[in-house]
Each structure stands twice: as structure tokens, then as C-alpha cells.
Amino acid sequence: MHPRTLFPEDGPIVRVRVMPDDDDGLTAPRPRGSRRPHTDGKVARVRRLVEQTDMTYGAISKKTGVGRATICRWTQDFGWQRHGWAPRATDRMPTARASHRLKARTLARRLAALAERHIRELEASASVDQDKLAEALELLKMAKVAARPRKRKAVAQGNSGTISPPVTPARGTPSRPRDGDPGAGVQALSTPAPAAGVDPRRTAMAELLAAGIDPWRVPDELMEDFIASRSPPPPRGSRGSRRGQYSKRNREHARMLRRIGE
């Protein structure tokens, strides 16, 4: 048999390549200074991976080239629902510190929603209610304060209700007093008082007044929620003390001890 019969040269040429699942959307470069560096197709691809797969944010970031913080922000802002078998985010774990951050974020959304509802009611009404308008403005400013992260460097001075940054030692001054150092007492007096004994209510009121918010125009229920969200979170323990804190065995043991004490 002739070789050309086995391998015909005039046969069709077939090329196989992998095609993308979704169109990348806008392919032209974004204008300079744009706050949307990613294309619409990439956002749609990230959403598909978030909602339809159990991949972690790190795996999605490596697959799409979008940062993990950006993926987390898109999931929160756009209301994407994660896959049922996907791992939960760190700030949504049933721990005291995570619930504290979630409480502050939820409060900011509630304040913004209530302010928008007041504004819609004022736009629909024939007359303008000055009190409701002032309350809506205060709620908008309070929502920005509630969404703002708490600064670790801000140290409360006693129960005076004022917040000031910590005192920075001069260059060349040791951070810890040495034995026999005559300036150790002066340095200890200049150190700010710890924030453990500070009243959270006074600290929250001082923060609102510093932001130009009138606390008397804010509803009492929202004020109590704001004070609870700005209170310091529980201290971090060692790794060994946190392990098994929320296990069923430890809960049953604590319940048994309470029954014995009764």
C-alpha cells in the first residue's frame, strides 16, 4: 500500500485549543484614574466561582488574578451567596471577636438604610419635616463612623470622655524603664492610662461629638447598639486556651458544673 493512502496530505488541518468559559467583557483599557480596574467579564467570572464552587478566596485569587480583599469586598457589597460546602470567612466564624466585627458592620448598614428611608419619605411628602431631615443627616454621619475601623493607637484617658493618641517617646529614650534610672518615674507618669477601665458609653459619646454628631437626635435603640459595637472586644487568649472553646464537650462540662453548683 502506498504511504500516501495511509497519510493523505490533502486532509483538513484541525487545531484544538481551550476556549474561555465566559467572555471577558470590556477589553479596552480603563481610563486613567478609573476606580474599576477589572473588566465586567472578570467580575462575572469571580461571581461564578464564588457562588458555584467551594474554592477558597485564595484559590479564586490565583485563578482569576483578583486580590482576596477585593473578592471579599465584592461578596459583601453585591450580596453574593457562597456555595453550601464553601469554607466560611474568618469574620463570620462563631467567635466573640468575629461577632463583634460583624455587629459593627451590620449596625452601619442599618443606619444607612434608615437614613435612606427618611430621605425617601421626605422626598415623597409635600412639606419638609426639619426634625426628620436633621435625624437623617445625623444617621448618615453616624453610619460613616460606625463603618470606620477602631484605631488601636487611640488610647482613652480615664473616664474623661476624651481620646488622644499615645505619647511618643523622644529619640534615644528607652521604651522600658531601666533599673536605677532616675527618669523612670517621669516616663511612667507620662504613659497614658490603660483603656481597660474606660466607660464605653463615654468613649462612644466622645467619638460622636468629635465627628460633629448630635447624640440627642439619634434614636435611643440605635445609640445603645452603637455603644455596644464600639465597646472593646474580648481580649485574645493563648492558642491553647481558645482551642475547643466552642466544642460540645466543653459546653456539656460547663453545664454539668453549673448543675452541681446549684
Least confident of 95-99, 112-116, 249-253: 95-99
Q: What is the pLDDT of residue 6?
A: 56
> Is residue 7's pLDDT more than 60?
no
Contact at 8 Å (CB) between 118 and 135?
A: yes
Band the pLDDT of 180: cuts 50, 70, 90.
very low
Band the pLDDT of 155: cuts 50, 70, 90.
very low
- pLDDT mean over 164-178: 46
Q: What is the pLDDT of residue 95?
A: 60
**For 67-109, how does the pLDDT look when each residue is reduced to its tens digit (9 = 90+)?**
988 998 888 888 898 887 888 776 666 565 666 667 777 788 8
**For 29-73, how does the pLDDT look when each residue is reduced to its tens digit (9 = 90+)?**
566 666 777 888 888 899 999 999 989 899 999 999 999 889 988
Query: Which residues in 122-134 are b (16+ Cβ under 10 Å) and which e?
Result: eeeeeeeeeeeee
Q: What is the pLDDT of residue 160?
A: 45
Percent of the chain clearing pLDDT 70 (strictly above): 56
Contact at 8 Å (CB) between 159 and 198?
A: yes
Q: What is the pLDDT of residue 46?
A: 92
* Count, residues in the chain: 262
pTM comes to 0.43
Greatest mean pLDDT among 52-61, 107-116, 152-161, 236-245: 52-61
More confident site: 229 or 181: 229
DSSP H stretches of helix in 96-246: 96-124, 130-147, 184-190, 200-210, 220-230, 239-242
**For 129-153, how does the pLDDT look when each residue is reduced to its tens digit (9 = 90+)?**
888 888 888 888 888 888 776 665 4
Closest CA to 100 of 200, 195, 194, 192: 200
